[in-house]
């Protein structure tokens, strides 16, 4: 399993100059500069270069720096453009691949990494794979097996680091109705954690996951959209002095991404 700690993956909209600047002072384990859902279509090109600048300006001793590209499964050419721009920075340590549906989606990232000298078998580009559909959930074992088989062809310039459960997209794709106790999503969440463990990967919970619940299911971390969430998330996904994860119940009603009012349990970052 990837040795890096990823208790918190905090999203920063790639088209918001204000949020990109503020992210320099955030103590998340991983900062995810987002080029996908939080960026309106007409601002995709501008956001690519804004994220490149943010990567270059990020503190040297700060969080892991990741970029969520546009989904290769849906917009392959745009995903390639994202990588062509942001990988000009040698600071990118991980790529979040949304709507992962096929091993071919990873070829886009692997080919980009192979052309760059900063990614090597001893320091590969980490891949965080977002599961957002029933097909992706059911085909995870086959896709991961095939991805591992392609590592030699990819010259080990990339590595499989984590599986991420995107519950909102999953519910939309499967017509599952979300319930307050999250029991309607117990199967896919448990399946993702089980598969992650079987393949030596981390499991990352979605925005709506309560910390206690996610930790008890075996998730390693959680996605967040506001710095005020970080202390609670880090506590929930860190071992206690007894070596077990603490039991926490935490309800957030706070200001959304860097200041806007939101209910964290029900919203994700919207397009800027």
The answer to the question of whether 169 is labelled as a binding residue is yes
Contact in structure between 34 and 65 (CB atoms under 8 Å): no
Neighbours of 55 (CB within 10 A): 22
Q: Which domains, from first to last, does the chain contain? A: 8-262 (3.20.20.60)
Supply the pLDDT for residue 76.
97
117 three-state secondary structure: coil
Q: Tell me the average pLDDT across 68-75.
A: 97
- Is residue 221 within 8 A of residue 233, CB to CB? The reply is yes
Determine contact, residues 63/30, Cβ cutoff 8 Å: yes
CB 47 within 8 A of CB 15: yes
159 φ, ψ (degrees, to nearest 5) = -140, 150
pLDDT at 208: 65
pLDDT band of 126, cuts 50, 70, 90: very high
- What does pTM read for this prediction? 0.86
Would you say 68 and 33 are in contact if contact means Cβ atoms under 8 Å apart?
Answer: yes
The Cα 70–Cα 58 span in angstroms is 22
Q: Which residue has the tokens 């984590």?
A: 162
- Minimum mean pLDDT among 71-75, 193-197, 246-250: which range? 246-250
Short-list 230, 179, 231, CA closest to 208: 179
Q: Report the helix count and the strand count for the chain, using DSSP H and E.
A: 9, 10
């Amino acid at each position: 399993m990837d040795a890096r700690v990823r208790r918190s993956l905090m999203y920063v909209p790639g088209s918001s100059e204000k949020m990109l600047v503020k992210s320099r002072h955030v103590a998340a384990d991983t900062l995810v500069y987002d080029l996908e859902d939080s960026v309106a279509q007409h601002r995709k090109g501008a956001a690519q270069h804004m994220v490149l600048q943010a990567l270059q300006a990020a503190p040297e001793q700060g969080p892991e720096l990741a970029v969520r590209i546009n989904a290769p499964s849906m917009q392959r050419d745009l995903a390639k453009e994202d990588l062509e721009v942001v990988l000009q920075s040698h600071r990118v340590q991980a790529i979040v691949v949304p709507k992962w549906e096929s091993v071919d989606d990873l070829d886009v990232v692997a080919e980009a990494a192979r052309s760059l000298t900063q990614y090597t078998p001893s320091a590969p580009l980490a891949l965080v794979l977002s599961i957002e559909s029933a097909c992706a959930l059911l085909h995870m074992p086959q896709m991961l097996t095939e991805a591992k088989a392609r590592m030699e062809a990819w010259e080990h310039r990339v590595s499989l680091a984590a599986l991420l459960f995107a519950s909102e997209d999953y519910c939309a794709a499967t017509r599952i109705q979300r319930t307050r106790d999250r029991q309607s999503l117990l199967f896919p969440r448990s399946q993702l954690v089980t598969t992650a463990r079987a393949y030596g990967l981390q499991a990352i919970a979605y925005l709506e996951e309560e910390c206690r619940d996610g930790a008890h299911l075996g998730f390693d971390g959680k996605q967040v959209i506001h710095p005020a969430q970080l202390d609670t998330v880090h506590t929930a996904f860190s071992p206690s002095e007894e070596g077990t994860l603490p039991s926490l119940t935490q309800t957030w009603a706070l200001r959304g991404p860097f200041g806007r009012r939101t209910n964290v349990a029900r919203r994700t970052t919207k397009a800027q």
